[in-house]
Amino acid sequence: MTSNHTTHRVGAGWMTLFTLAWLAIWTVTLTPVQLLLPLQLDSPEGDWILGVVYSGLVLGIGGLAGVIAGPAAGALSDRSRGGRGRRRPWALMGVWSTAIFLVLTGYAEGPWLVGACWIGVSIGTAVASAAFTALIADQLPASQRGAGSSVISSSQAVGIVLGVGLVVLLGLSVVAGYLLLAAVIAIVGTAAAVLLPDPPATAADLPQRDSTRPRLASLRDRDFSWMLGGRLVANIGNALGTALFLFFLLHGLGQPNAAAQDNLLLLIVIYTVFVVLASVLVGMISDRSGHRRLLAVLATFVQALSGLVVVLMPTFEMTMVAAALMGIGYGAFSTAGLAFATDLLPDEQDHARDLGIVNVTASLGQLIGPMLGALLVALVGGFWLVFLMAAILSVVGGLMTARARQPEPAAVQR
């Protein structure tokens, strides 16, 4: 197994631009998931389960499109020879296609047209995510990978608060919300893609054709495959516990629409605070100790507690406690898990492709979760099975992650 030989530590400017890129990506990805799409697809009170099902299907189909687009864009960027860099053209392509399809989604009506436009958004964000994620392996030494990974996970939580907060507090309509998100990704994403360094590939950087090496050989690597599987399952558990919050407030706890939107923002703020705290703390610990796997596994058990709390005590007060537990568990898992993934990269010359696959397990989990949750709601006519499965899948994801062997702690090489 090869490893990244980068030894030069990046500075605050690099980290700031990288943070802004991911903040923009997560804001425009998760604000529709949490708020805008449920509002677009919600059905009248008597048919509210149909609205949940439509929302889950739209998100799930978009996730499947991202599964294909992310690794494909990563593989193509690994082979890019242009003078403008390997990652930058793909980042810009993803950013601008995302902005265009966000506008189209805002004006779309009906589940089929909304779903078609959301596929475009999902593909755009997958392409941009693959390009930006590759920069961790391209430019960060092992001693900064935990920090780089914590940027991605903490930006995810902050992005939800930023997007939902702006839409709710400014009283924006669904269309205005999408237009705002399109402007955010177009401006911030473009600036980050242009300003982040991305030197052109040398001959040594480009993947060498090896007729004896099977395509997608990384998926045949035992440890890499167990890590991918655990990451996917744990992310589905997280999505089950968070993505249907608005529907749960409206139809599980019976809150009025305005109160539910305000309380959704409160839950997201609680979740975000603990995601950021856990991400930063675990990022530092993993960089110092190198024990990424252990930290990732422990985090999934904390995440599982969140679902059990709601199952046993389905009140808004306990839902706030669950949001905090979910934030701790997911913040720690996403940070330690991504850093662990970079340690397990099987082929140095296919970093972007393999990290695209890693990134897809996170985004796909977050999009399959609502689809699975919708089916579970339709099955039992309520939400208790959703949160129970969130707990079960979190534990299963942790056990799968534990099957991947931890390499020598390269994190301590400074």
Residue 349 is predicted with a pLDDT of: 58
The answer to whether 250 and 39 are in contact (CB under 8 A) is no
3 state SS of 26: helix
User: How many CB atoms lie under 10 A from the CB of residue 389?
Assistant: 20
Tell me the C-alpha to C-alpha distance, in Å, between residue 228 and each of 9, 67, 157, 337: 27, 13, 22, 10
135 closest CA partner among 21, 290, 294: 21
Q: Are 25 and 66 in contact (CB under 8 A)?
A: no
Which tokens sit at 414? 């400074």
Nearest Cα neighbor of 91 from 340, 337, 352 is 352
Neighbours of 8 (CB within 10 A): 9
Question: Which residues, 6 or more positions from 22, have their beta carbon under 8 angstroms from its beta carbon?
Answer: 132, 151, 152, 155, 156, 159
Q: What is the pLDDT of residue 188?
A: 95
Can you give the pLDDT at residue 412? 40
For residue 330, the surrounding DSSP H or E stretch is: helix 316-343
Which pLDDT value is given to residue 203? Answer: 53
Q: Dihedrals φ, ψ of 219, to 5°?
A: -70, -15
Residue type, 340: F
69 vs 100, 117, 120, CA distance in Å? 17, 15, 10
Phi (first) and psi of residue 73, to 5 degrees: -65, -40
Q: What is the pLDDT of residue 92?
A: 93
Measured CA angle at 234 (ends 68, 157), to 5 deg: 85
Tens of pLDDT along the chain (414 residues)? 444 445 577 777 888 898 899 999 989 988 998 788 888 887 655 577 777 777 777 877 777 787 788 777 777 777 766 556 678 888 999 999 999 999 999 999 888 898 889 999 989 998 998 888 777 767 767 667 667 667 776 787 788 888 988 898 888 999 999 999 999 999 999 999 999 887 665 555 555 555 555 555 566 778 888 988 999 999 999 988 887 888 899 888 988 888 888 898 899 889 888 988 998 898 888 878 778 889 999 999 999 999 999 999 999 999 999 999 999 999 899 888 888 887 777 665 566 667 767 777 777 777 778 778 888 988 988 899 999 999 999 999 999 999 988 776 544 443
Residues 6 or more apart whose Cβ sits within 8 Å of residue 152: 22, 133, 334, 335, 338
Residue the block writes with tokens 């089929």: 112
pLDDT of 410: 46
Tokens, residue 285: 């610990």
CA distance 410 to 36: 42
